[in-house]
Structure 1
Amino acid sequence: MNSGLTFRTALLLTLPPLLWAGNAVVGRLVNDLVPPITLNFLRWALAFVFLLPLAGWVLKRDSGLWTHWKRFALLGLLGVGCYNALQYLALKTSTPLNVTLVASSVPIWMLLVGWLCFGQRVSRRQIVGALLSIAGVLLVMSRGQWALLAQVRLVPGDIYVLLATLSWAFYSWLLSQPKEPTAIRQDWAAFLMAQMVFGLGWSGLFSAGEWALGDAHISWGWPLVTALLYVAIGPAILAYRCWGIGVQRVGPAIAGFFSNLTPLFAALMSAAFLGEPPQIYHGIAFALIVGGIVVSSRR
């Protein structure tokens, strides 16, 4: 961990934002075809099937998974059960660009979580950077109208994505604290599979609640099948693989900076596929968020 940011590591950390931006756009496109929490469950169930030939051994009794079940249950809850389910919920009432912009505050939550829960020191420069980034998030949440903040009229999707971001911050810090067996840790497919085992349980439970409490339905067809294949292979397997490597190499705080690339990709994809061009306040908000991260990450 913290071995320094190389060009290869930077490329690894750039791929997840690209895939996550596509995930937000796809989630918005299919929100009338499948309930959001059910989409998250189907996504991970499909990813589980894809990984089974590569990491099926981790399900054996002597693999170490069941000995460390509490850790994997927590990782599965935060990274599989909650993070994307909350993002898909957010996309019911917010746009992909708004969701990804608010989510780009994740480095700030990385600093707060690291300070409060993992004993990491926070400098004055990091505090200034945090304030700049928070200002950017508030600008998005107010839709460019600061008076709305005084009225506390928040779109539900903004709250969901903030909860998702907090969940991801805890998840990333836990990744940087290795406690699982070496055999699982060194096998990326096994490590992700170990999280999926419990994450599927969490997401399945949440999905059952969604069907029990609401008027849920699924409209099967090639659009939904294609979307499921994308979110299972790209944002789930490939993105989690690259993010895990990046966090191990440079730490959560530096890796978190790359999440700010997601709104740029989301803006381009939203304009191309959803007819939702970015507004001026989106650009100002992104400048504030990135400026805050640059300030806070300087040594």
Structure 2
Amino acid sequence: MNPFYKLILTPLIWATNFVMGRLLVVAIPAFALSSIRFAIAALIMLPLALRTHPFRRISRRSWGWIGLMAVTGVCLFNTVLYLGLRYTTSVNATLINSLSPMVTAMLVFLIDREKIQRSQAAGILLSVAGIAVVAAQGSWERLTHLSFNPGDLLVLLATALWALYTIAGRKVAQEVPVLAATGYSFAIGALLLLPMGLLDWNLSAATRQPAAPWMWGAAVYLGIFASVIAFYWWNQAVQAYGATVSSLFQNLITVYAAGIAYWGLQEPLFGYHWLGGALVFGGALLASGIFQRKEPAQEAVSSQS
């Protein structure tokens, strides 16, 4: 499949993850759910990683990047995000998360000295504007009256952690196949999550609801689709399009989530949803370079005297 289509479909899978996560946390606490999710992913991906690229062939430098992927994207990202959501509103979290392309672009510049292109800058601005329209429900007054709290700093930290994961995935892909890097990062991340998951499960024993059979099926879905497929596709897309451009497509999660809520939960869609979605999608397409004209290749003509 073309990496561009993976950039479009991966946020859709992650949008279903948000919806299912909300339904599952009443019976399976957040850290326990993350632990189960990535344990399933590791069991699937680790054998494939070992066959694709044995760990003995991986250099220390690449292990460092894989370890960074495990810590930032698999272990800490969800943990810090969940903590932030306890203290802030979904509106604030959505707006702050939309800054991910900017954060990624700044980190790419600091690490690789890679300057942001004009089309990327314009795409970032369009995308952030689209998220702002959705978060403010089309009201400028609502947007200007937003207040921020310590939870917002945690959400911003989570955004930076995911940016680091994206950059690390691109770095390690220079030496290690994407499938192997993703699998090994899942294995390391699952081991790091295991103690937190067990502790969370035991501490919530008195307050959580009994888990229905469909909930365990949903947890398996998160392990296979939201982890194995989505992370693998994401890392492939980052390798093809770069960290900055790929991060813009993350903002489609908000657009897809609104659509899922409309079709699955019968929540209404308003004009600002359509406008915001168009701005987000347009910004992502603009930054991807799909509208840039390609110069025709000039063939060298040799002449004989």
TM-score class, shorter-chain normalisation, is 0.7 to 0.9
3-state secondary structure, aligned to 1:71: helix
Superposed CA deviations along residues 187-241 of structure 1, whole A, max 9, x for unmatched, are 61x3222102221233235446656887764633212111111100001001111
- The answer (yes or no) to whether the contact 2:41–2:227 under 8 Å persists in 1 is yes
- The within-5 A match list for 1:177-196 is 177-178=171-172, 182=175, 185-186=176-177, 188=179, 190-196=180-186
Residue 272 of structure 1: aligned partner: 263
Superposed CA deviations along residues 76-118 of structure 1, whole A, max 9, x for unmatched, are 01111133445556777766x9977864553333322222333
Q: How high is the TM-score relative to the length of structure 1?
A: 0.76
- The within-5 A match list for 1:193-212 is 193-207=183-197, 210=200
Superposed CA deviations along residues 43-90 of structure 1, whole A, max 9, x for unmatched, are 001112223443456998735387854332211011111334455567
Consecutive unaligned residues in structure 1, runs of 5 or more: 1-6
Aligned residue type for 1:108: M
**Is 1:165 matched up with 2:144?**
no
Higher mean displacement: 104-113 or 239-248: 104-113
Residue 3 of structure 1: aligned partner: none
Higher mean displacement: 120-129 or 8-17: 120-129
Aligned residue type for 1:278: L
Distance 2:135 2:29 in 1: 24
Distance 1:75 1:206, change over 3 A: same
Residue 124 of structure 2: aligned partner: 130
Higher mean displacement: 161-170 or 266-275: 161-170
Which of 247, 270, 274 is the matching residue for 2:238? 247
**Is 1:42 matched up with 2:8?**
no
Residue 83 of structure 1: aligned partner: 77
Higher mean displacement: 202-211 or 117-126: 202-211
3-state secondary structure, aligned to 1:176: helix
Distance 1:251 1:61, change over 3 A: closer
Which of 68, 78, 87 is the matching residue for 1:74? 68
Aligned residue type for 2:165: Y
**Is 1:261 matched up with 2:252?**
yes
**Is 1:28 matched up with 2:19?**
no
Consecutive unaligned residues in structure 2, runs of 5 or more: 293-305
Higher mean displacement: 7-16 or 52-61: 52-61
Distance 1:104 1:283, change over 3 A: farther
Distance 1:207 1:72 in 2: 22
Distance 2:254 2:129 in 1: 16
Residue 276 of structure 2: aligned partner: 285
The structure whose Rg is larger is: 2
Residue 100 of structure 2: aligned partner: 106
3-state secondary structure, aligned to 2:127: helix
Distance 1:61 1:256 in 2: 29
- The answer (yes or no) to whether the contact 1:141–1:154 under 8 Å persists in 2 is no
Aligned residue type for 1:37: F
Residue 303 of structure 2: aligned partner: none
Distance 1:150 1:122, change over 3 A: same
Higher mean displacement: 111-120 or 34-43: 111-120
The share of aligned pairs that are identical, in percent, is 30
Residue 219 of structure 2: aligned partner: 228
- The answer (yes or no) to whether the contact 1:101–1:260 under 8 Å persists in 2 is no
Superposed CA deviations along residues 154-192 of structure 1, whole A, max 9, x for unmatched, are 598876654433322221112222378x5xx2261x322
Distance 2:78 2:283 in 1: 25
- The answer (yes or no) to whether the contact 2:65–2:172 under 8 Å persists in 1 is no
Paired residue total? 288
3-state secondary structure, aligned to 1:177: helix
- The answer (yes or no) to whether the contact 2:178–2:236 under 8 Å persists in 1 is no
